[in-house]
Structures are given as C-alpha cells and as structure tokens.
Structure 1
Amino acid sequence: MRQLTAIIVGAGARGRFVYGSYAKKYPEQFKIVAVAEPNEERRSLAATEHGLSNDRLFSSWEEVLSNHRIADIAVISTQDRMHYEPTLKALALGYDVLLEKPMSPFPEEVIAMARASQTYNRLLTVSHVLRYTPFWSKIKETIASGEIGRIVSIQLSENVGYYHMAHSFVRGNWNKAEETSPMILQKSCHDMDILSWLIDRRCLNVNSYGSLLHFRPENAPSGSTYRCTDGCAVERECPYSARRIYEEDSSHEWSRFITNELTPAGIEQALLEGPFGRCVYRCDNNVVDHQVVNMEFEGGTTASFTMSGFTHDISRTVQIMGTLGEIRGYMEKNEIKLYPFGKEVVEVPLAVEEGGHGGGDEGLVREFLKEVRRENSGGGQGLTSAEASVQSHLMAFAAERSRLEGGHSVSITSINDQSICSVGS
C-alpha cells in the first residue's frame, strides 16, 4: 500500500480532529505534508502533531496552492463559503480533492465544481459520511435485495440535540445563513444525500416549512444576562447553560471546540471572552431551529424529512415503506428491523464501528484513499463524488426557497437551469 500525501486547507475541527487524527492513526496510509490555516495557534498545533517545518505552514489557501502540486491530495475543510476557489485551484493543479460538505451555498458553484472535476479528470469527493457507515450501507443493501419491494415512501428524522443546536447553530460558526449556509444545507445535506441515495431516482419537487422559533431575545427568561458567566439568575436551571455544556464536560466533547487550553482556566477564559459564553437568547443567530421537508421523486416515491434542535440526543431515525415490507432503523443504537409483510420481523445484523458519525468519518477517508489509488490506475469517481452530490444540494436549495416562500412547491429544475442530468453532459 503506497502512502498518500495530503495538504490540509483549513485546520479547524474537521481538519484537525477527523483528517489529522486519521493521519496519526494510520501513518502507513496517509501523511499530512502541509497545512494552510489563518489561525496561528492552529498552525502551530498542526506543526507539532504532524512534524511540519515552517516552510510547510501557510496562512492562506492562496499560498499553499500558488504554484505546483506538493502532495497527492488536497483536503478542503474551510468554512462553507470558502470552498469554491481553493477547490477549483486544487483540481487545476492536479490534486484529488476531499471536500467538506456542503460544497457551496450557491447552486452555480456546486455545478461548476462538479464540472471542474470532470474537466481536469480528478477526484472530487464530498464528505457525505453517512453513506460510509455500516448502518446506512446495510439499509441500502437490504433495499437492493428486493425484500421490501419497491420503495413507496421514506420518513427520516434528524434529531440535532439541544446542546449541539446551542453550540453550533446558535452560539457557533454556523449560526448565520448569510455567512455560512442555511441550516437545511449546512447540517442536513447529509440527510438529503441519504434520501437521494436510498431512493435512487431524481427528486422532482420539494416543499418545506420551518423557522427560528425559540432562540430569540423575546424568549430570554427573566433574570438572564448577556453571558452565562455574568451572574445569570437562571443559569443553574437553564439546559443551555454554557457552564453546564463546557465547564462541566469532563470528557471535553464540546469544550475542545472552544479552546485549545483544556484546563479550568482556559475554558473559563473562553466563556468570558468568546462567543460560546453568550446566552442563547442573546446571540446573533438567524438559522432555523426546526424544519420539515416533503419531497416527490420520479416514479411517485415520496419522502418526508424532519430536522429539530429540540431533542434530548443527537440521533437519526428512519422508516422505509415498500410494497412488500418495511424497514425501521435507529442509527445511534445500530438497530435495524425488517418487517416483511406476512412474515416474522427480522433483526438485521449490523457491524459496529467506532469513530465519528457512526464510523462514517474513518470510512470516508479510508474509501477516498482507495479511490485515489484506483483513480491513478483509471478507476471510478467514488461513492460520494461531486456528481453524486449535486442532486442532494439542489434538494436543499429547493427546500430553503420553499421555506422562504411560505411552503410553496419548488421544482428542482427551477433552482438552476442545469440540473443533475446535465452535469455529466
């Protein structure tokens, strides 16, 4: 197995904790040879963790992609609105690219990136990690076996989790649609992708409703303050308390995303000075905290999707109804049950993998590396190629337009005059 080299463009949470961690865990497969990151502290951490010299540390994507190719792979894990230009440049230089989702908040950029991958004959894989999990792979396999017949309808729920909602979409980096992406695209393009993959037909029409219902100034409890650290009278009772989520988080599951100084003093300083100490009712957020989407696919198959920030856990549940049977699944419990009509229920055996997104994070990188090796020998485009991702992005764009227009039905082809069918033409 030839070790592949990579540059990381954006060394934040995903760049460091997913791709950087994979390189440290499997050095025989994957080596990071350069990092582009504007934050000096993150660059320093990358240098230490991957043994990089100063001439392999860059403060911008323009610098690391300025001249010739210096690695096999470019991992683009910048913020949503900073994907387009470095991706096109990396493809033009001859890199195979692993791109964080969503591809872009703009339909024309999504399609242009997919076309560039074809033009330069390079891999452009999007991090739709759910396809790489044992859970969703087994569901896809069960559907393909014909045991439930033809899919009639799917119900999919994404339970964001109240603490994840508060961290990422109220206080955090993805709280304003105009700076990143709408919630349905940023968070739930995974789910649009899964529905597209399972049904395996073109989505035709979408309608959607949703709003920012709760995390608003008028809902702030009496006695609350601008920061949870400002002597808030209700902080101890508030489920969204920053002290509860970060200071009392002994595992550092969430505090590691707000500071690199994982000590009581370091976390306290982050809450006193940074955005994550703010009251959830006094932030500058505007993305929705709940949304529903209904979809019609070719052949009459329908799907409904619910995203909610008001759940006790972070989980996904699915119900797939076919002409001969039904599948019900609970991803976080690794539980899949098959109900063939007129027969006994079957517990579908499922391998369990460790790691983020139910093993999908490692699965994504592992399969991408395999594709790069195959591609260099004339292989295919991979499970989550840009071409495959275009439809799910267009579904999310249609859902957001429908939501903003009061739930009116929006056709996929109206989002852009070049639909998924024309991407490969």
Structure 2
Amino acid sequence: MKKVTAILIGAGLRGGYVYSQYALDHPDEFQVVAVAEPDKERREIFAAKHHIPEKLCFKNYEELLAKEKMADCAMVCTQDQMHYEPVVMAMEKGYHVLCEKPMSPDKKEIIKMGEMAKKYNRILSVCHVLRYSPFFSKLKELLEEGRIGRLMTIQHMEEVGYWHHAHSFVRGNWRNAEESSPMILQKCCHDMDIMLWLADSKCESISSFGELSYFKEENSPEGAPAYCLDGCSHRDECAFYAPRFYLEHPKAVDDGLVYAVTDPADPEHVLEALKKGPYGRCVFHCDNTVVDHQSVDIHFENQVTATFLMTAFTNQCARRIRLMGTKGEIKGDMDTGVIEIIDFVSQNHETIQLHTPAKGHNGSDMSMMRDFVRMIGEGKKGKTDASVSVESHLMALAAEEARVKGQVIDFGEFCKWN
C-alpha cells in the first residue's frame, strides 16, 4: 500500500489528538503534512508533534486550500457549522475527505455534500466510528447469519453520562443548538446510522419526544455562583463541581477531556482556566439549549421498528442494545463487550465476550482511520459511503423536527428540498 498523506483542518480534540494519532502510530502508512488551526498555541503544538514546517501551518482553511493540492486527503475536524465550505473546497481541489460528524446541521448542505462527492468521484467518509467497533460489527454479522431469524424490533439506548453531558453539552462547544446543532444530530447521528445499518432498510417515518429539563437556571441551588471557583457552598454535594472533575475524574485526566480546558493541562493552568473560562461555569448558569433527554421511534420500510433513548442522567457513558427477531433475541452492552444470544426453540443462551479497548469509542476511532487510509491507499471499499451518511443525518434532523413540532414525520417527504 502506498503511503497516504493528509492535510488537517481543525486541530482540536478529535482532529489534533484522536484521528491524527494514526499518523504517529503508523508513520509508514499515513502522514499529516499541513495544518490549519486558528489557535496559535494549538497549531504550534500540533506542528511540532507531526514535524510540520512553519510554511505549511495556516491560520484558516481558506489559506491552506488556496495552495496547490499537496496531499491525498483532507481531514475536516472543525465545529459542526463549519464543515460544509472546507469539505466542498477540498473536494473541488482534488482531495478525498474525512469529515467529522455531523456533516452539517443544514439539510440542504448535507444533501449537497453527498451529491458533490459523487460528482467529483471523491471519497467522502464521515466519522460514523461505531460501524468500525468490534461490538456493532459482530451484531451485524449475527443478523446476517440469521441467528435470530428475521429482525423485527430494535431497542437502543445511549447513556451519555452525567459528566460527559456537563462537559460537552452544558459547558462545552456543543451546548447550544443554534451555534452547533441539535443534540440528536451532533451526538446521536452515530446511533441513527447504526440503526439504519442494522435494520438494513430505508426509514419510512419517525417521531420523537425530548426536553431540556434539568440543566437550567430554575434548578440552580440557592446562592450558587456563576463559576464553581467563586466560592460555591454546594461544592461537596454537587456532582458537577468543575475543579474536582477536571483534576480528579479519570475520564477528564486519562481520556484527555481536560485538554479542552487548557493545553498544557497541569493543575495550575487548569485552575486558572476554570476561574472564568467556559468549563468552570456552574451547570445551571450556562447558555445551553440542547435537550438532556430524548426518545425517538422509527418505522423502516421493511417493517422493522426501532426505539432509541438518549439520556444525560447515567453514571456511565455507554451504549446498550436489544435486537428482537422471529427466532430469538440479542442483548448487547458495547462498553463491556458482552453479547448474549437467546434461541427461542432450544432456549440456549450463548454469551460472546469481545475485546473492547477502553478508549477511542472502544477502538472504533483507529479502526475507522485504518479503513479510510486503506480506501485511499489500496482502493478498497469502506464500510460506509456518503449516500448512507446523508440518509442517517437526515433521520436525525427529521427526529428533531418531529420533537419540535410534535408530529410524526414522513421521511420521504422530509428529504425533498428542491
């Protein structure tokens, strides 16, 4: 396989630390040769790590994409509402593209991106990393083997985790739907994609309910200040006390969430950043607008029905699923890697224990990167393409419209826009 080269647009947590790590782990396969990142410190740290010369470091994607094509692909890892223009410009320039999810919060932009990938014959791979996990890959294999007969019902739950929700969706970059995108799109387009993949059919109709119920001003403890470090008297009884989370919680420290607060992430810098920075705010005094719990019901054209539940109010950040068929059922826990298959006739209970790495969506991030690199380097077909990603994104937007309007949405009609 030839070595694949890339440019990176957006060196934040996902682009700068997760997907680009594949280049450091597999330097013979993949190399990042240029970066566009507006934050000077972040840009310089990334450039030093990947040995990128200053002349190939840019403040924005416009400067980078104005240059002659210098790599095989572009990784677009900007914020939700900033994907469309660099993706389109990169494809026009001749780059294949890896695009962080969601593609866009705008229905027309999502459809156009899919159309342009086809027009220019480019790989447009959206980061639906769950398809690459050992867990969901095994579930797909079991369904294709007919282990539970004809699939009839899917029950799927995403446990966001109280700490993850507070970090990303109350204090963080994805807190405000108007500035980023609705929760069901930004966080759960993964899950729409998985249900679409497992059902193996097009969506016919969709409904949804959900609210922002807890993380708002009216639920603030008496006297709670705007920032945790402004002498909050509730610090010992509050699960969301920022200094404790960012200095002690293993998900913040070991999984690198603390780098969203400040880089470098030593205690002195973290505490200083929390004094007046966004991640130091009281969770009841933020400008968040996304829901903290939501359910979605889906009817597919092949008569499979699916129910999805997203909730912030869990201890773990996990996904659990049940697949119910005519001959048996499957129960699965992605976090533990345990799958149980029950046969209705024999009443046999088979348990499968998968190896699931603790980090990177249980190993999915690096599996996706490997697949993307080999699609380019070897011309292999990947697990998903732009047209499928377009459909699952539109399912998420249809679910949000159903929630807001209190209606059942005809998916075929929803997808019409011109």
Q: What is the Cα deviation at residue 109 of structure 1?
A: 0.7
Match of 2:146 in 1: 146
Q: What is the Cα deviation at residue 353 of structure 1?
A: 4.0
Alignment of 1:310-321 (within 5 A): 310-321=313-324
Secondary structure in structure 2 of the residue aligned to 1:303: strand
Q: Which of 265, 278, 297 is the equivalent residue of 1:275? A: 278
Q: Which amino acid in the other structure matches residue 360 of structure 1? A: S
Q: What is the Cα deviation at residue 71 of structure 1?
A: 0.4
Number of residue pairs matched by the alignment: 414
Secondary structure in structure 1 of the residue aligned to 2:321: strand
Match of 2:288 in 1: 285
In 1, the alpha carbon distance for the partners of 2:213 and 2:358 equals 35
CA displacement 1:271-330 (0-9 Å, x = unmatched): 012100000000000000000000000121100000000001000000000011101000
Secondary structure in structure 1 of the residue aligned to 2:213: coil
CA displacement 1:346-380 (0-9 Å, x = unmatched): 112534345400110000000011111233xxx54
User: TM-score, with normalisation over the residues of structure 2?
Assistant: 0.97
Secondary structure in structure 1 of the residue aligned to 2:322: strand
Q: Does residue 54 of structure 1 match 2:29? A: no
In 1, the alpha carbon distance for the partners of 2:15 and 2:83 equals 13
Asked if 1 retains the 8 angstrom alpha-carbon contact of 2:227 and 2:276, the reply is: no
Q: Which amino acid in the other structure matches residue 273 of structure 2? A: A
Match of 2:258 in 1: 255
**196 and 418 in structure 1: CA distance in 2 versus 1, 3 angstrom threshold:** farther
User: TM-score, with normalisation over the residues of structure 1?
Assistant: 0.95
Match of 1:415 in 2: 414
In 1, the alpha carbon distance for the partners of 2:364 and 2:217 equals 37
Secondary structure in structure 2 of the residue aligned to 1:332: coil
Alignment of 1:127-138 (within 5 A): 127-138=127-138
Alignment of 1:376-391 (within 5 A): 379-380=380-381, 382-391=382-391
Question: Which stretch of structure 1 is more off in the superposition, 352-361 or 9-18?
Answer: 352-361
Alignment of 1:84-123 (within 5 A): 84-123=84-123
Asked if 1 retains the 8 angstrom alpha-carbon contact of 2:3 and 2:377, the reply is: no
In 2, the alpha carbon distance for the partners of 1:44 and 1:131 equals 33
Question: Which stretch of structure 1 is more off in the superposition, 201-210 or 251-260?
Answer: 251-260
Q: Does residue 309 of structure 1 match 2:308? A: no
In 2, the alpha carbon distance for the partners of 1:405 and 1:206 equals 12
Q: What is the Cα deviation at residue 129 of structure 1?
A: 0.1
Match of 1:373 in 2: 377
Match of 2:298 in 1: 295
Q: Which of 333, 342, 345 is the equivalent residue of 1:342? A: 345
Asked if 1 retains the 8 angstrom alpha-carbon contact of 2:22 and 2:30, the reply is: yes
Asked if 1 retains the 8 angstrom alpha-carbon contact of 2:299 and 2:306, the reply is: yes
Match of 2:83 in 1: 83
Asked if 1 retains the 8 angstrom alpha-carbon contact of 2:327 and 2:345, the reply is: no
Asked if 1 retains the 8 angstrom alpha-carbon contact of 2:98 and 2:126, the reply is: yes
Match of 1:358 in 2: 362
CA displacement 1:164-196 (0-9 Å, x = unmatched): 000000000000001111000000000000000
**143 and 418 in structure 1: CA distance in 2 versus 1, 3 angstrom threshold:** farther
In 2, the alpha carbon distance for the partners of 1:270 and 1:157 equals 34
In 1, the alpha carbon distance for the partners of 2:108 and 2:12 equals 26
In 2, the alpha carbon distance for the partners of 1:415 and 1:245 equals 41
Q: What is the Cα deviation at residue 260 of structure 1?
A: 0.6
Alignment of 1:179-218 (within 5 A): 179-218=179-218
Asked if 2 retains the 8 angstrom alpha-carbon contact of 1:107 and 1:415, the reply is: no
Asked if 2 retains the 8 angstrom alpha-carbon contact of 1:249 and 1:255, the reply is: no
In 2, the alpha carbon distance for the partners of 1:5 and 1:171 equals 35
Asked if 2 retains the 8 angstrom alpha-carbon contact of 1:224 and 1:235, the reply is: no
Asked if 1 retains the 8 angstrom alpha-carbon contact of 2:337 and 2:353, the reply is: no
Match of 2:30 in 1: 30
Q: Which amino acid in the other structure matches residue 409 of structure 1? A: V
Q: What is the Cα deviation at residue 247 of structure 1?
A: 2.3
Question: Which stretch of structure 1 is more off in the superposition, 86-95 or 351-360?
Answer: 351-360
Q: What is the Cα deviation at residue 22 of structure 1?
A: 1.4
Structure 2: state its 5+ residue gaps. Answer: none
Q: Does residue 399 of structure 1 match 2:403? A: no
In 1, the alpha carbon distance for the partners of 2:22 and 2:277 equals 29
Q: Would you identify which runs of 4 or more consecutive aligned residues in structure 1 move more than 4 Å?
A: none
Match of 2:335 in 1: 332
